[in-house]
Amino acid sequence: MIDPEKRYQALLAKLKAHGARITSHRLALLRLLSVSEDHPDASKIYNQLRIQFPTISLATVYKTLHLLKQEGEVLEIPLQNGAHFDGRKPYPHPHMICTKCGKILDGDKLTFPEVANREIQNKLNFEVANSQLVFYGVCGQCH
């Protein structure tokens, strides 16, 4: 299980190391990412933060997410309806998207992506640097 406080501190350390301004808006965004168990898009993050910070801009959310993505601290999940972000598990792992309710489930305990990466390297002499695997279907609650 991921410790939200450790995750928050890791995100904060990356921003500081990058020389980014540490504002109350950014701190709140980091806190939100560190405790979020879903995979919000930028507008959902923005709307949640606006409750506490009415002056926050959507640009601040996008810039901070972009910076954290560049630093390897946020995983962007490009979907048909826009990008969603995983701030708790920034490493590549499969996601399952329910086509009925839109829920995004993590598949980080599945072993086949690592097996596939090894097979690609061994059989095709291609070293995988990064991967994104998304499955569309119906979740258990909607089934």
Give the start-to-end residue ranges of the domains of the chain.
4-86, 95-137
Angle 97-2-131 from CA coordinates, rounded to 5°: 45
CATH number of 95-137: 3.30.1490
DSSP string, 33-82: HHH--S--BHHHHHHHHHHH-TT--HHHHHHHHHHHHHTTSSEEEEETTE
pTM of the full structure: 0.84
pLDDT-derived band at 114 (thresholds 50, 70, 90) equals confident
pLDDT at 1 over 70: no
Q: 32-83, pLDDT tens digit by residue?
A: 999 998 899 999 999 999 999 999 999 999 999 999 999 999 999 988 778 9
Report CA-CA distances (Å) from 42 to 9, 18, 65, 127. Answer: 21, 21, 8, 31
CATH C-level class of 4-86? mainly alpha
pLDDT, mean over the chain:
91
